[in-house]
């Protein structure tokens, strides 16, 4: 018989850390609001949620790695917004945030949901931060809960495997 694992979106005892970028805070505050709403809807009590603010999207992976290594978190959510400008900087920041967050999750074994918008303009960001196209912060929070619940079903890692 095939064994199947699947994360569930409901829980009461998860501890979830949310890291949000202050850069483009007019968007990231909306992503954070959506993430907190989603976590509460999944049954995560406020006392089990912590929010850390970082200067920008490139600092998200650093804070996520540090929080994960500190222990006590079942999942993390990284929230940010990178809006394309006239220079190559957009590509550097977007790529660095994505790769860095992925590396932190792999290195620490703690699921880190990526809720960073990479958009061409502010209108696209607003549409994805609680506007017509939903809230990617909420989506990332739900993914974090699902992944934490999925990871709980796996056998624990030995120190050597971490």
* Residues involved in catalysis: 89
Q: What is the DSSP letter of 42?
A: T
Cβ(140)–Cβ(75) below 8 Å:
no
Per DSSP, helices labelled H in 12-88 are 25-41, 60-70
Radius of gyration of the chain (CA): 16
Q: What is the DSSP letter of 59?
A: G
Among residues 34, 17, 14, the alpha carbon closest in space to that of 81 is found at 34
| Torsion, Cα of 97, 34, 52, 82 (10° steps) | 30
């Amino acid at each position: 018989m095939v064994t199947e694992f699947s994360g569930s979106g409901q829980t009461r005892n998860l501890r979830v850390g949310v890291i949000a970028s202050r850069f483009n805070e007019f968007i990231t505050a909306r992503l954070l609001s959506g993430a907190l709403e989603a976590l509460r809807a999944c049954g995560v009590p406020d006392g089990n949620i912590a929010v850390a603010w970082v200067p920008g999207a490139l600092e998200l992976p650093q804070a996520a790695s540090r929080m994960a290594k500190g222990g006590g978190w079942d999942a993390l959510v990284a929230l940010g917004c990178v809006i394309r400008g006239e220079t190559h900087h957009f590509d550097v920041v977007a790529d660095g945030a994505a790769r860095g967050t992925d590396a932190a999750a792999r290195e620490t074994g703690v699921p880190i949901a990526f809720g960073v918008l990479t958009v061409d303009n502010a209108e696209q960001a607003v549409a994805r931060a609680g506007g017509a196209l939903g809230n990617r912060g909420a989506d990332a929070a739900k993914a974090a809960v699902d992944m934490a619940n999925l990871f709980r079903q796996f056998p624990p890692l030995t120190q050597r495997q971490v």
